[in-house]
Amino acid sequence: MMFYKETNFKDTEIGRIPKDWEVSKLEKICKKIKAGGTPLTTKKEFWNGNIPFVKIEDMTSCGKYLIKTSSSITKAGLENSNAWLVPENSLLLAMYGSLGEVSINTINVATNQAILGIIPKEKDDVEFLYYWFLYFKPCWRKFAKPTTQANLTAEIVRNSTIPLPPSQERKKIAEILLTVDEAIQKTNEIIAKTERLKKGLMRELLTKGIGHKEFKDTEIGRIPKEWEVVKLGRIFSFKNGQRPKLLETEKIPVYGANGIMGYTNEFLVDNDFIIIVGRVGASGEVHLGQGKIWVSDNAIYSESYEKSKVYPPFVYYLLKFKGLGRFASKTTHPIITQTFLNNFQIQLPSTLEQQKIAEILSTFDKKLEIERNEKAKLEKIKQGLMDLLLTGKIRVKVNSNGRF
């Protein structure tokens, strides 16, 4: 693969691009650019047919390729609305809602009125245009109509201008970016598999323990015979956090209901392990702090604990597994209180078994951290490549036969 740094540029209405690139209106390189429509929801005969029907939420949840939809319409629904059949391997672009969201549909679909179907004249341009739209996504708002909800129109998109490298270069740019996307997808699959394994292992270890053969029924369910049931208030001393003074250059983490929210130069508690539970906002979310930390007023923290009875990382995993959020008070602003935590009952193995269980589960967290860091690195590489390749700052050397 050969790359070279471009030095010969020209100024255009969309900025500086290589001298041998063109500037084109999108409509000139597309067969069709058209919004969809929604059949009457009151007509049952228009719905639950065999034509996949795309809504914005389908696009925001599918990633690059749209392979299924959450709803469908009938042929009658298609014929009695502004919806139309967008052929597979076309582009779908959100005009409002999630402005600029873009996907490639791998199946024939109809779309609602918020989504444009875009069919390029050249099939090979689908991938290139996908990456261009992805790169350009933050800029669409400048062209959107200034209404209560910023929105694009089919006309705005048709008349948008794009940089157009030679055909073979467009293809190679898309192939390079696709390679990075495939690496990201593989990392996503590893993360998903690891999360599934961890979830299954948590259920096994936190309810059956390690090597137990005899069990007993308790007020919180069936647990190993050797385990006991205790209230959290017996083994932890909880306190509400306090409003922090955030300082960007300091090193002491400030935990809120959602986790680390910043840093400061003071600490509220100093312990080998601290359980943090979201009080309001993300009520019931659980985090594990270590050493000197500050805890914000939207969370509760363990000031101290009975070291002879409990190993806090075990309780951290147990509370995550139990899902404290479902116990939050059902008010306008759901809340977890100290009183609730003090009276919340948990199963408690010996401290030795607690440590073993926590150590097993922590290996999965370490694996997930490595993979998530790898994903973040790949996404950064992808963004950098889009910035270089889609603007022509770095060129892909293509021979006359179309090879690198």
Within a domain: 223: no
Which of 306, 327, 348 is the endpoint of a domain? 348
- Predicted local distance difference test score (pLDDT) of residue 400: 58
Radius of gyration of the chain (CA): 28
Within a domain: 129: yes
H helix runs in 5-139, sequence order: 56-62, 75-79, 125-136
Within a domain: 237: yes
How far apart CA 303 and CA 286 sit, in angstroms, is: 15
C-alpha distances out from residue 64 to 89, 91, 117, 280, Å? 12, 10, 15, 35
Residue 273 sits in a domain whose CATH number is 3.90.220.20
Q: Residue 23 forms beta bridges with which residues?
A: 163
Looking at the chain, the number of H-run helices and the number of E-run strands are 10, 24
- Predicted local distance difference test score (pLDDT) of residue 128: 97
- Predicted local distance difference test score (pLDDT) of residue 2: 85
- Is residue 53 within 8 Å of 128, Cβ to Cβ? no
Within a domain: 285: yes
Between CA 357 and CA 365, with CA 362 as vertex, the angle to 5 degrees is: 140
- Is residue 33 within 8 Å of 158, Cβ to Cβ? yes
- Predicted local distance difference test score (pLDDT) of residue 398: 79
Residue range 301-345, pLDDT digits in tens: 999 999 999 999 999 999 999 999 998 887 778 899 999 999 999
- Predicted local distance difference test score (pLDDT) of residue 401: 57
Query: Do residue 332 and residue 237 come from a single domain?
Result: yes
- Predicted local distance difference test score (pLDDT) of residue 1: 62
Query: Do residue 278 and residue 367 come from a single domain?
Result: no
Which of 146, 164, 182 is the endpoint of a domain? 164
Query: Do residue 273 and residue 379 come from a single domain?
Result: no
Q: Tell me, rounded to whole angstroms, the distance of Cα 311 from its chain centroid.
A: 32
DSSP character for 127?
H
Query: Do residue 339 and residue 396 come from a single domain?
Result: no
Q: E strand or H helix at 54, and its extent?
A: strand 47-54
Query: Do residue 250 and residue 303 come from a single domain?
Result: yes
C-alpha distances out from residue 234 to 225, 271, 307, 341, 348, Å? 20, 18, 12, 10, 12
Within a domain: 17: no
Query: Do residue 301 and residue 274 come from a single domain?
Result: yes
Q: Residues with Cβ < 8 Å from 98, sequence gap 6 or more?
A: 56, 59, 60
Report the candidate in 187, 136, 179, 190 with the shortest Cα–Cα distance to residue 382: 179
Structure token pair of residue 24: 């084109």
Query: Do residue 310 and residue 377 come from a single domain?
Result: no
Range of the domain at 360: 166-213+351-404
Within a domain: 140: yes
Query: Do residue 360 and residue 320 come from a single domain?
Result: no
Residue 402 sits in a domain whose CATH number is 1.10.287.1120
Query: Do residue 41 and residue 160 come from a single domain?
Result: yes
With H, G, I as helix, E, B as strand and everything else as coil, classify residue 69.
Answer: coil
Kindly report the three-state secondary structure assignment for every residue of 290-306. Answer: EEEEEECCCEEEEEEEC
How far apart CA 345 and CA 227 sit, in angstroms, is: 13
Handedness of CA 274, 353, 195, 229 (dihedral sign): negative
Overall domain count for the chain: 3
Report the candidate in 293, 202, 172 with the shortest Cα–Cα distance to residue 239: 293
Query: Do residue 281 and residue 256 come from a single domain?
Result: yes
Within a domain: 218: no
Within a domain: 68: yes
Say what angle helices 167-208 and 312-322 make with each other, to 10 degrees: 110
Between CA 390 and CA 73, with CA 93 as vertex, the angle to 5 degrees is: 150
Report the candidate in 198, 194, 197, 204 with the shortest Cα–Cα distance to residue 361: 198
pLDDT per residue, tens digit, the chain (404 aa), is 689 999 999 999 999 999 999 999 999 999 999 999 999 999 999 999 999 999 999 999 998 999 999 999 999 999 999 999 999 999 999 999 899 999 999 999 999 999 999 999 999 999 999 999 999 999 998 888 777 677 899 999 999 999 999 999 999 999 999 999 999 999 999 999 999 999 999 999 999 999 999 999 999 999 999 999 999 999 999 999 999 988 888 899 999 999 999 999 999 999 999 999 999 989 999 999 999 999 999 999 999 999 999 999 999 999 999 999 998 887 778 899 999 999 999 999 999 999 999 999 999 999 999 999 999 999 999 999 999 999 999 999 877 555 55
Query: Do residue 343 and residue 386 come from a single domain?
Result: no
Q: E strand or H helix at 367, and its extent?
A: helix 351-389
Query: Do residue 33 and residue 147 come from a single domain?
Result: yes
- Predicted local distance difference test score (pLDDT) of residue 243: 94
CB atoms inside a 10 Å sphere around CB 220: 12
H helix runs in 224-350, sequence order: 232-235, 312-322, 338-343
With H, G, I as helix, E, B as strand and everything else as coil, classify residue 188.
Answer: helix
Q: Tell me, rounded to whole angstroms, the distance of Cα 371 from its chain centroid.
A: 14
